[in-house]
Structure 1
Amino acid sequence: MKKVLLIIMCLGVAVTSMVGCNKSIKNSNKDESNRTQIEEPVEDNNVNIDIRDTAIQVQSSQVESGELEGEKVFAVGVVSSINSLGENIDKANFIITQNEGEEAKSYVVTWELGKLNFKSLKISDGDVVRIYGVLEGKNEKGMPIIKSSLIDLAM
C-alpha cells in the first residue's frame, strides 16, 4: 500500500511540475510576441500603397523651383551619413545621393522614430534605397528634406 501511495505521489508531483512548465512556456511566448510587436515598425499599409501609387519622382529642377514642396515624392539613391540617434530623440536621418545625368543631388531623409523602426530597416552606408515621403523644404545648408513614410532597399 505504501508503494502505491508513493507512486501516486510521485506521479502527482511530475504532473504538477509539467503543468507549471507549460504555463511558463506560454508566458514566455507571450513575452516574445509582445517584444516582436514593439520592435516592428508602425506602418499603415493603405498609406504605403497610396504613396507608392501617387508619389512623383524627385527632379532637382522642380526642387529648386519649390514646386514639389509639400508633395508626395520618391527618390532612389545611395545612403550616406547615417545618423542613428538615440530613442529619446524625435527624429533620425541619413542622406541619399542620386545622379541626375552628370549632376549628383543629395537629399536629407528624415522620419519620426515611432513611424519607422530604424534598427529593423538594416540600412548601411552605400546601400541603394528607394524612399517615399513628403518634400518638406530645405535645411540650413540648403539640402532638400524628405520626411519619409516608407523606405525600401532598391535592387
Structure 2
Amino acid sequence: KLAAEAAPRLAEEREAEAAERMRRLGSLAPVEARRRAAAVSKDQRVEAMGPVKTPREWAVACEAIREAAIAAARAGQTITYEAIHLVAYEATGLKLSFRMNGRMCMEINRGEDGCLLSSIIVRTDTGRPGDGFEPFARQSGFSDPLGVLQQAVFRHFGGAA
C-alpha cells in the first residue's frame, strides 16, 4: 500500500530530476559538452558499460537517457549524443562508448510511444541523428522524413513543436 501511494511522488521526482539534468546539460555550449564527453571517454580510470558486461548499469543509463530525452521532447528540443554520454556517466559513473551509442539509442524507444524518441538525439555538428538512425527507423516501420518523426515525438510527449 505504501509503495502504491509513493509511486506517483517518485515518478514526479524522477521526472523533475530528468528535467533538471536536461536543463543543465542542454544549456552547455556544444564545444563544452563535446569537451566534457571526450574527457570522460578518454579517462582510462572510467570503465565502459555494456548490456552484457554491466547489465544493471546499462539499464540505469538507458532509463536516465530515456528520461533526459523525454525532458528534451517536452521542451520541444533535441538532445546531443554528447549530452547522453554525460547523462550515462552521471547516472552510473561509467562511460558509454561511442561503439554502444546506437544500441543505447535504439533501446530508449518504446513501442507504446508510437514514435521514435531516438529521432531527437542528434549530432552536434549536423543537428541530425547519426548514420545508423535512418536504417533503424525504416526497419522499425518508420519511413517519414526526420522532421516529421521529430514532430511526432514532440507531440507525443507534450513538447512545443
Q: Considering the TM-score relative to the shorter chain, is it more than 0.5?
A: no
Higher strand share: 1
Query: Which structure is larger by alpha-carbon Rg, 1 or 2?
Result: 1
* TM-score (norm: length of structure 1): 0.25
* TM-score (norm: length of structure 2): 0.24
Higher helix share: 2
